[in-house]
Amino acid sequence: MKGEVFESISCPLCGNDEYREVLTTYDRFDRQRRLKFFIVECKECGLRYLNPRIKEEFIGNFYRDTEYDPFISTTGRNDLQSLLYRGFRKLNLGFKYNVVRGLKLRGRLLDIGCATGEFLEVMRKAGWKVVGVEPDRVSREFVVKKGIRVYRALEELQGDSQFDIITMWHSLEHIYGLRSSVESISRLSKVGGYVVVAVPNVDSYGLRVYREHWVALDAPRHVYHFDFGTLVRLFGLYEMELIRTRFLLLDTFYNHVKSFFLKNENMLNFYYLICTVSKELIKTCVVSQKNISTLIYVFRKRG
Ligand SMILES: [Zn+2]
């Protein structure tokens, strides 16, 4: 079984075969934690990635857990965890809207990994022409019901006209075929257009504290773990220049709370959770954004 489901890969960024293991983790939905996953670091470019990883044809099975947060709208659940996620999502939607508004007021927007389409709906209401890409069939049906055009994969869009803004809110780290996808994104972007990429930050303070329990590792669904250097290098290969970074503050709370419970911390240790959240936020606000849970990169396509 193992030999059929897993595949070993070369570095998805530079193609080098040499790496060192940096962390062993598990699938947070696997109660018995039977499968082990290895995060390695490329000796050439420093990209951290899952190796071996689940073959692409099997990875869909790892998204269908009813507790998988981004598809929570498809389950109709109303328990505490779902309500918590929906609350965070609503607050984050306002933040994402403001990030886009700070770049451009109207135009064509593509959201890659749009899940059930809530962000696209907000942007459409604000006057944008919107299109989504989402590999999960059940989630796509929710987008279609909203009357929004959605594709299964990026390749299906190749003949389409170009976009003013392309957003990827926590989707790049899931995409197989890393370089070909970023190449397509660059091609789909207008010259002078923007690409907004939000990814978990592998240099986050939370990962240092929670190690294999850090929820943003999310093996085997996250196949890459970017830091500032590797992400900027990747987009730089395809004529995208970094113009600014931002951070998603709410992700810090969400990631620390989820990781705290994954680690099975005693509730009496609650002060520990408060300390880890505060430390990450203070470091970010006082020192630099370098150790925040989620970094948002804004790239512009060169002319
Ligand atoms: Zn590499």
Tokens 């604000």, residue located: 126
* Nearest C-alpha neighbor of 48 from the set 185, 236, 201, 251: 201
Contact yes or no for 188/290 (Cβ under 8 A) = no
CA of 11 to the centre of ligand 1 (A): 5
CA of 254 to the centre of ligand 1 (A): 30
Contact yes or no for 162/188 (Cβ under 8 A) = yes
CA of 160 to the centre of ligand 1 (A): 32
CA of 292 to the centre of ligand 1 (A): 23
Q: Which two tokens stand for residue 177?
A: 């075929």
- Per-residue exposure over 215-248, b if at least 16 CB sit within 10 Å of its own CB, e if not: bbbbbbbbbbbbbbebbbebbeebbbeeeebbbb
Q: Report how far residue 282's alpha carbon sits from residue 294's, in angstroms, rounded to the nearest whole number.
A: 15
**Tell me, what DSSP letter sits at residue 98?**
H
CA of 18 to the centre of ligand 1 (A): 8
What is the per-residue pLDDT for 3? 54
Q: Report how far residue 10's alpha carbon sits from residue 224's, in angstroms, rounded to the nearest whole number.
A: 12
Q: Report how far residue 206's alpha carbon sits from residue 272's, in angstroms, rounded to the nearest whole number.
A: 12
What is the per-residue pLDDT for 75? 60
CA of 214 to the centre of ligand 1 (A): 23
Contact partners, residue 292, CB within 8 Å, separation at least 6: 201, 204, 205, 247, 252, 280, 284
**Tell me, what DSSP letter sits at residue 52?**
S
CA of 9 to the centre of ligand 1 (A): 11
CA of 33 to the centre of ligand 1 (A): 29
H-run or E-run covering 234: helix 228-236
Contact partners, residue 123, CB within 8 Å, separation at least 6: 97, 100, 109, 111, 130
CA of 52 to the centre of ligand 1 (A): 15
CA of 171 to the centre of ligand 1 (A): 20
What is the per-residue pLDDT for 71? 61
pTM of the entire predicted model? 0.91
CA of 86 to the centre of ligand 1 (A): 37
If one counts every other C-beta atom within 10 angstroms of the C-beta of residue 193, the result is 23
Q: Report how far residue 294's alpha carbon sits from residue 164's, in angstroms, rounded to the nearest whole number.
A: 24
Q: Which two tokens stand for residue 57?
A: 């044809």
CA of 235 to the centre of ligand 1 (A): 14
CA of 15 to the centre of ligand 1 (A): 6
* Nearest C-alpha neighbor of 282 from the set 292, 273, 272: 292
How distant, in Å, are the alpha carbons of 46, 60, 111 from that of 64?
31, 7, 21
CA of 53 to the centre of ligand 1 (A): 16
CA of 16 to the centre of ligand 1 (A): 5
Q: Report how far residue 248's alpha carbon sits from residue 46's, in angstroms, rounded to the nearest whole number.
A: 24
What is the per-residue pLDDT for 239? 96
Q: Report how far residue 215's alpha carbon sits from residue 132's, in angstroms, rounded to the nearest whole number.
A: 26
CA of 19 to the centre of ligand 1 (A): 8
Contact yes or no for 109/129 (Cβ under 8 A) = yes
CATH number, domain 68-301: 3.40.50.150
pLDDT tens string for the chain (303 positions)? 455 899 999 999 999 999 999 999 999 998 888 899 999 999 999 999 999 999 999 998 898 766 676 666 666 667 777 777 777 778 889 999 999 999 999 999 999 999 999 999 999 999 999 999 999 999 999 999 999 999 999 989 876 669 999 999 999 999 999 999 999 999 999 999 999 999 999 999 999 999 999 999 999 999 999 999 999 999 999 999 999 999 878 888 889 988 998 887 676 788 888 888 888 888 888 778 888 999 999 999 998
Half-sphere exposure of 60 (CA within 13 A, CB side): 8
CA of 129 to the centre of ligand 1 (A): 37
Tokens 């990962």, residue located: 207
